[in-house]
Amino acid sequence: MAERESDKALDRETPVGAVHVLAVVPMKQTVLYPHVALPALVGRQASVEAVKAALATEEKTLVVVAQRDPGQDEPGPQDLYTVGTRAVLKQMTRSPEGMRLLLVGIERVAIEHWEQTEGFLRARVRVLPTPADVGPEVEARMRAVMDLGRRVVEIVQPDAQVDVSEMVARNADPLQVAYVVASLLPLPGEQGQRILEADTRLEALRLLNESLANEIRVLEIRKEIAGQAASEMSKSQREYVLRQQLRAIQAELGEGDPQEQEAAVLRERLEKADLPEHVRKEAERELSRLERLPPAAPDYQMTRSYLELVLELPWKAAEPAEIDLGKARGILDEDHFDLEEVKDRILEDLAVMKLNPGAHAPILCFVGPPGVGKTSLGQSIARALDRPFERLSLGGMHDEAELRGHRRTYIGAMPGRVLQAIRRAGRRNPVMMLDEVDKLGRGFQGDPASALLEVLDPAQNGTFRDNYLDLPFDLSQVVFITTANTLDTIPRPLLDRMEVLRLAGYAREEKVAIARRHLIPRRLAEAGLKPEQLEIPDDTVARLVASYTREAGVRELERLLGRIARKVARRVAEGTASSVRVLPADLQELLGDERFLPEEARQELLPGVATGLAWTESGGEVLYVEAALLPGGKELRITGSIGEVMRESATAAQTWVWSHAKELGIDSDRFEKAGVHLHVPAGAVPKDGPSAGVAMTTALASLYTDTPARRDTAMTGEISLAGLVLPVGGIKEKVLAAHRAGLRRVVLPEGNRRDVKQIPDEVRRDLEVVFASRIEEVLETALTRGVREARARS
Amino acid sequence: MSHDPIAELLFSEPATPSTANWRPRADVYRTPGGWLVKLDLAGVRPADVTVTLSGSSLTVSGCRRDWLLEREWDHVQMEIAYNCFERRLDLPGEPGSCRVSTEFRDGFLMVRVEPER
């Protein structure tokens, strides 16, 4: 239900001219206005008696009148104004100080006759009319009062519950506004009284306006003075007192001024430091600034850390260490199995550095699946070169300032990570590994990849300028090595500046050898076992690789070996065994059930299915391309999370098969009456790239000629519309995947013949590799009956 | 008598625009026969109450007088609102011409508003 309280529903005023005889309570400072509530404490005996008399009436009303002189303690009639306010007592409680009252004014009254002056005052009063004049001037005055009033109220009572503008929005009576504003102000008694006595609204507003303007000036000045005094006095005095105390304590302890000491230490270090001239000049400038600064200045700490950085950075080139190529080769071989190509490349670079120590250090990029030893190869290089190794992970870095530092004007500014690494290394020529360069983020705070360009560009990094240091620093002697899982996400300009070395995945035999030579000894040492206490023969490792891991690298394998070592260590420590030989049959007990069934090739292939090979960031995989007719359809439908390039490749395969229908012996009815659907499981794994073209063509040819593809044959290669088979990447991983899956034949593009060298001999012995330069050759090899036979049959 | 900051704290109610009138609390019912308004008017003499209906606006006003006045009794605390009160309520719907009857029961004033047929 809607309820409406009219704002005009004012108090039941008695008619103008009505006469009351009421107790009178004098007020020292305050004027009570009609329709305004006023809390008050009544302590004076006469006032308490007056309130008691009012309480003893049925209606609990009394008259409140202001005193002319606030200092008068026992005011008589002559000490009071003659205009007051009739008020109703809303609440009363007693307290030791007297009575606490809540009064609400009803109407203005004029005192006509004093009826009683003994004990307390009682008077006959006549109700005065409520001013009700209207007009534009009243309106204008009211607005001025509101504006000023709001400002005053904000200063005097910041948490007052009255919003002056809200009152006006409710169409409050202008006089009412004036009364409320007046009662919120600490107006001197006389001014407040004159507003109460005003016979017109205009007069009341005018008086109030005057007082407000005056008041606001006084208040603002007072506030300003108070604020200034409080903040200035306390801060500087506190600091002074504390400083004096500090002096006294230091004198007591026999110490000098720490600031002077600090500056002296820095100066001493600066004099001893071997700095280039331009750096020394800058450092001198900062140091003399530091000596003048008070330690509490925000700049003080900043300048000090800056100077420390400048003093700690290795500005001068170190004596080039003699590079022993034989020893380097030994270290690389000791740490890493195989990787011949990469090792050769590194040794070549070392040879150049040996002959020309001033040459730019190489900037290498190791690309390969996780766990193939990219990071540890970097460590070996550092060891072979006898230089410090520093590693920065760039993964997810999205702020340019992290690499290049913040300018010193910012609070909490720091040098970039590159410079911090140099400082940690303490040499100007460390091996610095920038890990996960393919996972650089990109945020709104600039592009860290672009900042890396400067770091990695041999033409620019001789004068690398960090924002914080703001002095050129020579990075040209740093051997930068970046690592990545894939080259696809590395920005092109960045890639151009690096020499890419690929580390492919390892074959099972290689993993066994790595485990024997590196992983097992390391894990034994970590578990605190002696070699004779735990033996893990090669066939056990081979079983581990095949049934418990599926990875291109050896990270998971190493973890599993660590688990075995820990379990054996426990038995040895508990005394239940003294030496353990882990046989393949023991793995179930040690590690639980086999996690992976060996990747089995499909036992039988229907017409329309071909075996393809895919390269992923974690190695190679066997995948099947499936094709089926869509009776009544027309289109080529492709599914299985296929990317744009692979989709185009499928279209090319379809076009080639349709346009060579005659040669293949395909009844053209078959594709005129039906569409075709190509699917590449697993449907949830995104796939892209052109290298499935050959497999898709084979699948389509197999479908239309109704000839199954050979199930032991896998294939890879891009296809062109002219039927050419074009070379693709990732051959080693793909062939290893085929081998793992137990396939016996692999069809590769002729153009990839040279890549076969990378494939380990053990794998090549088991596999027949067929090179094809045209798709017809692929079909000849891959289909069970061959194309010619199919044609002859039709 | 003075303007005292402690008192201000105690009542924690700075000068605000308010009416000296107090507002009795009210329940409004829609009944099969019309409306029933129940007002909390304990201690009010029936003779001191005026009920007026103008359109759909029902106004109940009057005065609560303290009738417990004894010689040599002293107020120690006063919280009950005396003096004038007024409550204006909008009845939902358009009552038209109505019969208004009042009844006092246990401190409540019941105002029945029933349209005449």
Contact predicate A81/A24, CB 8 Å: no
Contact predicate A623/A612, CB 8 Å: yes
Average of pLDDT values for A394-415? 81
The residue of chain A with its CA nearest to that of B57 is A4
CA distance B63 to B85: 6
What pLDDT does residue A375 have? 85
Q: Per residue in A70-105, pLDDT tens?
A: 888 888 888 899 999 999 998 888 888 888 898 999
- Which positions in chain A touch B7 (Cβ < 8 Å)? 39-41, 100-101
Contact predicate A748/A756, CB 8 Å: yes
- Can you list the domains of chain A with their CATH numbers? 19-127 (2.30.130.40), 258-312 (no CATH), 325-502 (3.40.50.300), 508-591 (1.10.8.60), 609-793 (3.30.230.10)
- Amino acid occupying residue B99: R
Question: DSSP letter at A295?
Answer: T
Burial bucket for residue B100 (CB in 10 Å: 0-12, 13-18, 19+): middle
ipTM score above 0.90: no
Task: Please tell me which of the candidates A5, A28, A184 has its beta carbon nearest to residue B1.
Answer: A28
CA distance A441 to B102: 80
pLDDT of A720 higher than 70: yes
pLDDT of B1 higher than 60: no
Task: Please tell me which of the candidates A29, A89, A179 has its beta carbon nearest to residue B78.
Answer: A89
Average of pLDDT values for A278-293? 85
Rounded to 10 deg, the angle between the A555-574 and A520-527 helix axes is: 40
pLDDT of A7 higher than 60: no
Task: Please tell me which of the candidates B13, B78, B84 has its beta carbon nearest to residue A92.
Answer: B78
**Within 10 Å of residue A670's Cβ, how many Cβ atoms?**
16
Check A41 against B75: CB less than 8 A apart: no
Local structure of A649: helix, strand or coil: helix
Q: Sketch the domain layout of chain B as residue ranges.
A: 27-67+80-117
Check A4 against B90: CB less than 8 A apart: yes
Average of pLDDT values for A587-608? 75
Q: Per residue in A619-673, pLDDT tens?
A: 678 888 888 888 877 788 888 777 888 888 888 888 888 888 877 777 777 777 7
Question: In sequence order, what are the beta bridge partners of A249?
Answer: none
Contact predicate A47/A26, CB 8 Å: yes
Return the number of CB contacts < 8 Å for A and B: 152
Average of pLDDT values for A598-618? 74
In a mutational test of the B interface, the residue from A63, A73, A100 whose CB has the highest number of chain B CBs within 10 Å is A100
Nearest to A610 by CA among A693, A672, A670, A667: A693
**Within 10 Å of residue B68's Cβ, how many Cβ atoms?**
8
Q: Per residue in A107-143, pLDDT tens?
A: 999 999 888 878 889 999 999 988 888 888 888 888 8
- Which positions in chain A touch B84 (Cβ < 8 Å)? 11-12, 88
CA distance A491 to A469: 27
pLDDT of B7 higher than 50: no
Contact predicate A26/A80, CB 8 Å: yes
Contact predicate B44/B106, CB 8 Å: no
| Average predicted confidence (pLDDT) for chain B | 80
Q: Are strands A674-679 and A619-631 parallel, antiparallel or unpaired?
A: antiparallel
Min CA distance, A173 vs chain B (Å)? 11
Instruction: Give residue for tokens 């309106």.
Output: A139
H/E run at residue A109: strand A98-116
Local structure of A247: helix, strand or coil: helix
Min CA distance, A234 vs chain B (Å)? 28
What pLDDT does residue A84 have? 93
**Is A530 labeled as catalytic in the residue annotation?**
no
pLDDT of A188 higher than 90: no
User: Mind giving me the DSSP string for chain B?
Assistant: -B--HHHHHHHT----B--SSB---EEEEEETTEEEEEEE-TT--GGGEEEEEETTEEEEEEEE------TT---SEE-S--EEEEEEEEPSS---SEEEEEEEETTEEEEEEEE--
Fold annotation for B27-67+80-117: Immunoglobulin-like (2.60.40)
Interface of A with B in 116-175 (CB under 8 A): 157, 160-162, 167, 172
What pLDDT does residue A157 have? 64
The residue of chain B with its CA nearest to that of A189 is B3
Check B14 against A6: CB less than 8 A apart: no
Q: What is the pTM of this model?
A: 0.50
The residue of chain B with its CA nearest to that of A159 is B14
Q: Per residue in A741-778, pLDDT tens?
A: 788 888 988 888 888 887 888 788 888 888 888 888 88
CA distance A69 to A65: 12
CA distance A540 to A546: 10
The residue of chain A with its CA nearest to that of B88 is A5
CA distance A196 to A207: 10
**Is A691 labeled as catalytic in the residue annotation?**
yes
Q: Per residue in A481-535, pLDDT tens?
A: 998 888 877 888 888 888 888 887 777 778 888 888 888 888 888 888 888 888 8
pLDDT band at A378 (very low <50, low <70, confident <90, very high): confident
Q: Per residue in A12-24, pLDDT tens?
A: 556 777 888 999 9
Lowest mean pLDDT of A580-584, B35-39, B105-109, name the range.
Answer: A580-584
